[in-house]
Amino acid sequence: MAVYTTGLITNTRTFGTAASDVVVNSHNLGAVDVTVIVEVFGASPSSPALTPLYIIGFDLPAGMEDTRSFFIAGNLTYEVQISNTSSVFNEVIHSTFGVNEFLNLTHEQRVLHTELVPIAALTVPV
């Protein structure tokens, strides 16, 4: 099973446009269906602890793409963790993009597949 994280992403207008949502894209290039799990965490200005905001799972058929959006406005930092049942790194491609309230890309908050960091396991086991 492949598990990745974006790492912590700062979400403040001090260094550019803050994102109101994070968009997670997944594309299954393989020949078999996979299960994808997405965990989104946030930390508000009043609490530095990361809190689970979303934990979802979905099936991604072979050759298909899926795009999901998660509301993260008001969080000073956020992190996205993604897991899929494929053991091959380049078989399922993931990317994340922050978008502002007008659905414009927040370029400083994009994480491409090659920039995702492999981790041992999701923070919240499922």
Give the range of the structural domain holding residue 12, as residue numbers without chain letter. 2-118
User: Taking the model in full, what pTM does it have?
Assistant: 0.91
pLDDT tens per residue, range 35-63: 999 999 999 888 888 999 999 999 999 99
Indicate if the pLDDT at residue 101 is higher than 90.
no
User: What DSSP string runs through the chain?
Assistant: -EEEE---EE--GGGSPPPSEEEEEEEE-SSS-EEEEEEEEEE-TT--S-EEEEEEEEEE-TT-EEEEEEE-TT-SEEEEEEEES--STTTEEEEEEEE-TTS-EEEEEEE-GGGPEE-SS-SS--
Residue 62 sits in a domain whose CATH number is 2.60.290.11
- Asked if residue 124 belongs to a domain, the reply is no
- Asked if residue 55 belongs to a domain, the reply is yes
User: How many structural domains is the chain composed of?
Assistant: 1
Per-residue model confidence (pLDDT) at position 46: 85
Across the chain, mean pLDDT equals 91
Per-residue model confidence (pLDDT) at position 5: 97
User: pLDDT band for position 106 (50/70/90)?
Assistant: confident
